[in-house]
Amino acid sequence: FFVIQIIQEKKKSEIKNLKSKAEFMVTVEWPSDRPDDIDTYFEDPLGGLVHYKSKETPLVNLDRDDVGHRNDQITLPDGTMIDYKENKEVVTIRSIVPGEYVVNIHMFGKEAKNKAPVPVTVTVEKLNPFKTIDSITLLLENNGDRLTAVRFTVDAQGEVTDVNRLDKNLIEIHN
């Protein structure tokens, strides 16, 4: 355990010296006509986790936490209210750090009157240069449902060397 802790501390100190620009983006989208609250849990190679309660690590940001229809009205600087009907969460990875990244989706709040499953599309994109790494649509049916959408491994050059869907429950591990 002590050796692992030393390695993690060394990696964390190396991150302080990295340039901070978005290298990867993960989007989680579900139909705009659904009021359901879907949450994204994202783990980086250093064990950092972003989700609705913790939106930032030294490496990763949850740029948008969408709660279904509850945050669809936006107030502009001039006071004008506009409706933003898109259901979308966005996670950005700001530097190249080798290791495994894991994305879970979680049905946090399902509208009781709509029994139909919610299709949730998870897309991983490399931004520099642009390339879609993975995209999958999964179904969440009930409150509390959780799925591992994707796990991907990045090497030191920023290339994705593995993509898989082996289950890893980030909610249980980190809550």
Token readout for 141 is 């049916």
- CA torsion 142→60→88→131, rounded to 10°? -110
pLDDT of residue 80: 75
In this structure, what token pair is assigned to residue 138?
Answer: 């999964």
- Rounded to whole angstroms, the Cα distance separating 65 from 28 reads 10
CB burial of 104-127 (b: ≥16 within 10 Å; e: otherwise) equals: bbbbbebeeeeeeebebbbbbebe
Q: Which of the 8 DSSP states describes residue 3?
A: H
pLDDT at 10 over 80: no
Instruction: Name the CA dihedral angle for 7, 8, 9, 12, rounded to a multiple of 10 degrees.
Output: 120
Q: What is the pLDDT of residues 127-172, one digit of tens each?
A: 989 999 999 999 999 989 999 999 999 999 999 999 999 999 998 7
Q: What is the pLDDT of residue 174?
A: 53
| Pairing verdict, β 87-93 and 60-64 | antiparallel
The length of the chain, given as a count of residues: 175
Residue by residue, DSSP assigns 141-173 as: -STT-EEEEEEEEE-TTS-EEEEE-----HHHH
Q: Is the pLDDT of residue 12 over 80?
A: no
Per-residue pLDDT of 23-69, as tens digits, reads 999 999 999 888 888 999 999 999 999 999 888 999 999 887 766 55
| Residues 66-122 pLDDT 10s | 665 556 566 677 877 766 668 898 999 999 999 999 999 998 887 767 788 999 999
Torsion sign (Cα): 118, 31, 138, 147: negative
pLDDT attached to residue 62: 87
Distance CA 103, CA 117 (A): 20
Q: State the pLDDT at residue 42.
A: 96
pTM of the predicted model as reported, rounded to 2 decimal places:
0.80
Residue from 143, 149, 49 nearest 104 by CA: 149
